[in-house]
């Protein structure tokens, strides 16, 4: 399951800019942790893993980047470039984040505290995990 979540945007009537707010009810899980990626060189790739249990939402708070999503059968690439649009990623999805623009900030709002045991960092292991779960 991968889908977009629209984040409410409050545009100032006097032209003082926008305000977006994420209240707990717009995310389909309880938030346990927030982290962000920034100062990422344009030729670097982040992510390169899947999670067993963790759910997360990614937001391009500033700039843009591409998220490569892979469920073990098909791959798609989603560009994030709007601070009021979150990309929800369910567990069991391989993701890579790349093509960061200058000044891009990737906010991650996630459902678990940091646990290395929840990561699958090897792509072949990920494919095995997916096929084991289908049988």
| Residues engaged in binding ligand TYD (CB under 6 A) | 33, 35, 37, 46-47, 49, 114
Is 98 exposed, middle or buried (CB count within 10 Å of its CB: 0-12, 13-18, 19+)?
middle
What CA–CA distance (Å, rounded) separates 61 from 104? 7
The distance of closest approach from Cβ of residue 33 to ligand TYD in the complex, given in angstroms and rounded to an integer, is 6
Angle, alpha carbons 81-92-111 (nearest 5°): 65
In the complex, the smallest distance separating the C-beta of residue 119 from ligand TYD, rounded to whole angstroms, is 7
88 or 119: whose CB is closer to ligand TYD? Answer: 119
Q: At closest approach, how far in Å is the CB of 8 from ligand TYD?
A: 26
Nearer to ligand TYD, 8 or 103 (CB): 103
Nearer to ligand TYD, 4 or 35 (CB): 35
- Which tokens go with 89? 């990623």
| 49 belongs to the catalytic site | yes
Give the C-alpha separation, 31 to 15, whole Å: 32
Q: Which residues are catalytic?
A: 49
């Amino acid at each position: 399951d991968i889908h977009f979540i629209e984040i409410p945007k409050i545009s100032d009537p006097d032209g003082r800019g926008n305000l977006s707010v994420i209240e707990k009810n717009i995310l389909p899980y309880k938030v346990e942790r927030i982290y962000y990626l920034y100062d990422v060189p344009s030729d670097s790739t982040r992510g390169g893993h899947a999670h067993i249990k963790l759910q997360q939402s990614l937001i391009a708070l500033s700039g843009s980047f591409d998220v490569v999503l892979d469920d073990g059968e098909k791959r798609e690439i989603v560009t994030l470039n709007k601070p009021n649009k979150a990309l929800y990623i369910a567990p069991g999805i391989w993701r890579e984040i790349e093509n960061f623009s200058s000044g891009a900030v990737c906010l991650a709002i996630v459902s678990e505290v940091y646990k290395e045991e929840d990561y699958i960092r090897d792509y072949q292991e990920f494919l095995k995990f997916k096929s084991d779960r289908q049988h």
